[in-house]
Amino acid sequence: MQLTTLSLTDFRLHAQLKLQFFTPTTILVGNNASGKTAILEAICLFSTGESFRAKTTAELITFKRACSRIVATVIDNNDELAVLQIFFTRGELQGKKVSSKTFFVNEVKRQRRRLKTYLSCVLFRPEDMRLVEGSPARRRGFIDVVLSQISQEYERAARVYEQALRRRNKLLLQVRVGEQPRSSLNYWTMTLLKQGELLQEARRQFFSHMIEVDFPLHFQVVYVPSVLTAERQLEHIEREIASGHTLIGPHKDDFHVELDFAGVYRDIAVYGSRGQQRLGVLWLKLCERSYLEKHSGVFPLLLLDDIWSELDDGSRALLEGILPQQQTIITTTHRELAQELYDKFPLQTSITSLV
């Protein structure tokens, strides 16, 4: 799969923009607020159907415009050209209520999930540093996004689990004050167990896959599941009633990334430099890309937003060795770094300046 062109109409600050991608690595160079990240956002929308920045679809539409459109042409795994399109509205056009997002493949209306069979991507952005230094909830979110892309069963289980968790927590409070009997918990407890076991097994498989991913530095991930079994549920029930919260299960899972420091693996959140932490997040993204390829058959684009920040010369050289493995789009404000990469690999690299 290869992205060949991208057109934006009234998308974010881009009234009209058309880009061509004719080399394995494309570098988008521009000052801050020139719309570089919006381009990556548009590409990701074809893959996931959701924005990684906007809370509402209306935020994607240029101010004072009624609608927006993004169009991508891709060459699929069969070397056939496909035209993907997403049409955005504010929920109303010409006085009529309409869908806020409509998806098309070759001008035929399709469901959202159909688009990702043509275009898949993995995104690195500065905010992803929180996968190392941030909360467990952010790391769980990373896992859920990856696994939901390839498994409708996982996506459904995660949704049912979250609904059951909210219901059970509400009942725990009612049981605590005597408004509901303990037996009212049984159905939701069993639902959490059934869905939770599915979620944690899928997560174990994802983390196990990471061993297969080649990377110049030796990273590993340590999965810290909050193991959910019927026996553990019984052990925790008294404390759960007392606290009014479900204390064990996938909603408490965590993981951390470790780097080999002279033969000893240590948590990079504690012992790693900022550059090592950035490379650790990049490694996670490459693991995501490898897993998506294995289970979807589509080789994802690698989107790197401001990846060069906080990387020394050695780390930049390491990154350069990874780029030829897939189509890559990089954004940066550093024109000299873009030119340096182009000078090294002129046949594989192109530079697009955004004004």
Pick the CATH number of 2-120+298-353 from 3.40.50.720, 3.30.565.10, 3.40.50.20, 3.40.50.300: 3.40.50.300
Q: What are the C-alpha distances in Å from 302 to residues 4, 25, 120, 124, 322?
A: 14, 9, 9, 8, 10
Q: What is the largest CA-CA distance in the chain?
A: 73
- pLDDT band per the 50, 70, 90 thresholds, residue 58: very high
Give 289's contacts (C-beta < 8 A, 6+ positions apart): 122, 299, 300, 302, 326
Nearest alpha-carbon partner for 353 in 5, 9, 39, 24: 39
H or E element at residue 351 = strand 349-353
pLDDT of residue 49: 87
- pLDDT band per the 50, 70, 90 thresholds, residue 240: very high
pLDDT of residue 76: 79
User: What CATH topology corresponds to 135-270?
Assistant: Glutathione S-transferase Yfyf (Class Pi); Chain A, domain 2 (1.20.1050)
Average pLDDT for the chain: 93
pLDDT of residue 236: 97
Residues of the chain with CATH 1.20.1050.90: 135-270
pLDDT tens digits for range 168-225 = 999 999 999 999 999 999 999 999 999 999 999 999 999 999 999 999 999 999 999 9
**What's the whole-number mean pLDDT along residues 256-281?**
95
pLDDT tens digits for range 286-316 = 999 999 999 988 889 999 999 888 788 888 8
Partnered with residue 260 across adjacent β-strands are: 265
- pLDDT band per the 50, 70, 90 thresholds, residue 93: confident
Residues of the chain with CATH 3.40.50.300: 2-120+298-353
**What's the whole-number mean pLDDT along residues 73-92?**
90
CA distance 2 to 21: 9
pLDDT of residue 312: 85
